[in-house]
Amino acid sequence: MKPNTKLLYRVLEFTFLFVALIFVSCKKDETEADVYYSFTLNAGQPSDDGYPISEGLTWNSSDQIAAINVTLVREIEKLSYNTSSQKFSGNMVNILSGNNLAFFYPASALTTEHSDTITQDFSVMSQDGTESTVLNYRYGFCSSVTLNELSASATATMEAILAVAKMKFLHNGSPINDIVKIEFRAKEGNVYGKRTFNFRKKAYESGTNNNMVIKNNQGLDGSAVLAMIPTDDVLLEVSVFTADGSIYVGNNNDEGAIEAGNLYDWTFDCTKENGLAHIGDYFYSDMTVSSELNENKKCIGIVFALTDTEDGDINRTLTSSYHGRIVALNDVNSTGKTWSTMQYNIKGMPDFSTADGSLEEGFLPYWDGKSSSSYFESGHINMALTEDGRIETWPSSGLLSDFNGKENTAYADSSAIVYGACGQAAAYSISGITNKRWYCPSGGEMALLYAQSRLGILSSETLPPFTNFEARGYWCAAEREENRAWYIQFATGGVYANYKLSSYFVRPLMHF
């Protein structure tokens, strides 16, 4: 067969063109290699930004400012303060004179490493109420950079992006002392414990209204100093907790916007509230309890267990306490949720091979209010409650011995898509109480809720607005193996493990 000469020429032409393109591409890479500049930033002094809390403060040798390129995708660089030049310096790559650069202090607070992510989540939840831990976030921006061969410089005016509030807490005109926890919420408007800042827009983006919780184990005497995230008009309400278990609730009667850079002086006049809880009590958004429903407050759950401390173990002997656990009024959805779309063991979360240390699956007592029975005595799990809902007899091993739902939920990612049961429970929010304070019940907690519902302690008839559990399965925050997790069937009291892609209900819990 004669070769096709025209086709051969076309193949050779394409081959030469391809090689030429590779050569040009290589040359282009060589000529456009990254160029590093010795960068200098004049950021003035902290007291120059007009932030009242910064008066008299100066930069020191340990301070670092993050330099963020909001025009191009680049690594975020850290600039260190030089006490001799009184400027920040470091290296930056591929700067253009027209680049828009953002600067942020402290650099250590950033959780992103590249400027393709031009938003940052700021949290003010880790404070202890003293001046030493007031977060001092500042932000600067410049649109002009001076280039000189391999050096570059810029000047930026740093501005505060948080407010600071000095607060006094009074009861009958006297300071409330030995304060170990303060919980802020918005009686009107929004308050933020966490909010997203956009470096390119130089502004905060929309955030989620959530309670702001401050703890101090040493105790605060009558006052606190806190950094606050800016918000529109808000009326703040607080619950103040003292070391002796007392709870005081009040507001500052001063509705208005919280603006960045401002220093506020607030006084909260508080009344003493009931904080001593019993199983079956109503629990409210202001962290108080009552045995009768208070229509003037927002009920968010029902007390189902008591503890000695907020995150302590359930104490079977306590009949009243300032601490315990509550069950949410409703399921997180009305259609059920998969446990997880990922078929592997979650690191840290316990695996249980049995329900009670001996049975691979079994049945909880079917309570009729007077006595107990089960559908299958051969699979009967030995457990019993007192008339007021406390644990009397309980398995000492296996799934039902585990009451660490909060810890177990924390091991799972917060994504409600990937980790359905734990993720949805952690994302649950009511009256600003969110930020992963809710969690998916452990096997022991879920069984306790089942038994109390059978006893009539948890019932919509006696505890409106509580919603009864469905006669369906409810997930536990516990694995059987890599592709199966535990659930309790509320229709029969059955304790089983099923595939994680199965769909069951989720009822969140919270410590108080």
Q: What mean pLDDT is predicted for residues 356-370? A: 84
Phi-psi region of 432 (alpha: psi -120 to 50; beta: other; left: phi over 0): left
Question: Is residue 41 a contact partner of residue 59, using CB atoms and an 8 Å limit?
Answer: no
Question: Is residue 239 a contact partner of residue 283, using CB atoms and an 8 Å limit?
Answer: no
Cα separation, 511 vs 406, in Å, equals: 8
User: Is the pLDDT score of 277 beyond 90?
Assistant: yes
Nearest CA to 422 among 432, 410, 433?
410
User: Is the pLDDT score of 18 beyond 80?
Assistant: no
Nearest CA to 361 among 391, 398, 396?
398
| pLDDT of 53 | 78
| pLDDT of 436 | 85
Burial class (CB in 10 A: 0-12, 13-18, 19+), 85: exposed
User: Residue 167 corresponds to which tokens in the numbers above?
Assistant: 């607060």
Amino acid at 274: N
Range with the lowest mean pLDDT among 361-370, 455-464, 469-478? 361-370
Rg (CA), the chain: 30
Range with the lowest mean pLDDT among 20-24, 265-269, 335-339, 364-368? 20-24
| pLDDT of 508 | 98
Q: What is the per-residue burial (b if ≥16 Cβ within 10 Å, else e) of 239-265?
A: bbbbeeebbbbbbbeeeeebebbbebe
User: Is the pLDDT score of 390 beyond 50?
Assistant: yes
Cα separation, 486 vs 314, in Å, equals: 21
Q: What mean pLDDT is predicted for residues 22-29? A: 35
Q: What is the per-residue burial (b if ≥16 Cβ within 10 Å, else e) of 200-222?
A: eeeebeebebbbbbbbbeeebeb
User: Is the pLDDT score of 7 beyond 80?
Assistant: no
- Mean pLDDT of the chain, nearest integer: 89
What pLDDT, in 10s, does the model give residues 494-504? Answer: 999 999 999 99
Amino acid at 353: S
User: Is the pLDDT score of 11 beyond 70?
Assistant: no
| pLDDT of 221 | 96
What pLDDT, in 10s, does the model give residues 77-127? Answer: 999 999 999 999 999 998 887 778 999 999 998 888 888 888 988 889 889
**Residue 30 φ/ψ, nearest 5 degrees:** -70, -40
| pLDDT of 50 | 76
What pLDDT, in 10s, does the model give residues 460-489? Answer: 999 999 999 999 999 999 999 999 999 999
Cα separation, 266 vs 167, in Å, equals: 5
Assign 34 a pLDDT band (cuts: 50, 70, 90): confident
DSSP 485: E
Nearest CA to 58 among 78, 36, 43?
43
User: Is the pLDDT score of 129 beyond 50?
Assistant: yes
User: Is the pLDDT score of 24 beyond 60?
Assistant: no
Assign 374 a pLDDT band (cuts: 50, 70, 90): low
The arrangement of strands across the sheet holding 119-123 comes to 119-123, 194-198, 203-204
Range with the lowest mean pLDDT among 71-75, 437-441, 451-455? 71-75
User: Is the pLDDT score of 22 beyond 70?
Assistant: no
DSSP 435: T
Parallel/antiparallel/unpaired status of strands 101-105 and 138-142: antiparallel
Higher pLDDT residue, 277 or 69?
277
| pLDDT of 373 | 55
User: Is the pLDDT score of 416 beyond 80?
Assistant: no
What single string gives the DSSP state of each residue in 5-69? HHHHHHHHHHHHHHHHHHHHHHHHHHHT---EEEEEEE---GGGG--GGGTT----TT-EEEEEE
Range with the lowest mean pLDDT among 233-242, 388-397, 431-440? 431-440
Terminal-residue alpha carbon distance, the chain: 89
Q: Which domains does the chain have, with CATH numbers?
A: 36-122+130-160 (2.60.40), 337-511 (no CATH)
Phi-psi region of 456 (alpha: psi -120 to 50; beta: other; left: phi over 0): left
| pLDDT of 377 | 58
Q: What mean pLDDT is predicted for residues 317-340? A: 95
| pLDDT of 21 | 32
| pLDDT of 20 | 35
Torsion angle of C-alpha atoms 410, 413, 418, 422, degrees rounded to 10: 10
Give Cβ neighbours of residue 8 (< 8 Å, ≥ 6 apart).
none
Give Cβ neighbours of residue 205 (< 8 Å, ≥ 6 apart).
119, 195, 196, 197, 198
Residue 465, preceding bond cis, omega within 30 degrees? Answer: yes
